[in-house]
Amino acid sequence: MPKFETIRPVVHRAEQMFDLVADVESYPQFLPMCESLKVRSRKESHGKTLLIADMTVGYKLIRETFTSQVLLKPEEKVILTKYIDGPFRYLDNRWQFVPDVNPEHSTVKFYIDYEFKSRTLGFLMGSMFDIAFRKFTEAFEKRADAIYGKGEKSPVV
């Protein structure tokens, strides 16, 4: 039952980071182990968007596809992912983007908790998933730098 949580200050606005993570179709361009991502459906209601998406991840000769429900809440700057089908027993993933005192900065909070259905698959891919999930926030920050430019770090007081 691996879990990972990180809180990372970034030099980009909370809205920018939210938009970047919400752009799930772009994940294969920069996200570790993500080979493809296809949005099956998209429904918008009351300022929120609900996606159903298939993500294929791979490492060496192993490829697995899983389906998730992704709830985008731009007003709250929160993204919630609920597992639907695939190689996991369960997967719970949350992103929160918190504005900073400096409006050009924010804090990214990332949480993931998951377990593979198969012990064998967990053994084969578990450590790689751990490494990939630990690099997720860093991958998104690098992507933000590439898209929005590198912001100015706040001086340490």
Per CATH, domain 3-147 is 3.30.530.20: yes
With CA atoms as reference, report the closest residue to 81 among 107, 101, 54, 61. Answer: 54
- Give the closest residue to 119 by CA, choosing from 34, 4, 1, 35: 1
Alpha helices per DSSP H over 7-156: 14-22, 119-148
Taking the whole predicted model, whether its pTM rises above 0.85 is answered as yes
In this prediction, residue 111 carries a pLDDT of 94
Instruction: Provide φ and ψ at 115, rounded to 5°.
Output: -150, 135
Report the chain (157 residues): mean pLDDT per 10 consecutive residues.
Answer: 85 96 96 93 97 90 90 98 93 95 94 87 71 79 92 52
pLDDT of residue 98: 97
State residue 16's pLDDT score.
96
Helices (H), the chain: 14-22, 119-148
What was the pLDDT predicted at 83?
Answer: 94
Q: Which of 62, 42, 64 is nearest to 51 (CA)?
A: 42
pLDDT in the model for residue 32 = 84
Sequence ranges of the domains in the chain: 3-147
For residue 90, give the nearest of 51, 110, 67, 117 by alpha carbon: 117
- Closest by CA position to 110, among listed 35, 9, 1, 24: 9
Residue 155: the pLDDT is 43
* C-alpha to C-alpha distances, 153 to 97, 106, 110, nearest whole angstrom: 18, 11, 21
Residue 47 CA to residue 41 CA, distance in Å, equals: 16
Exposed, middle or buried by CB within 10 Å (0-12, 13-18, 19+), for 129? buried
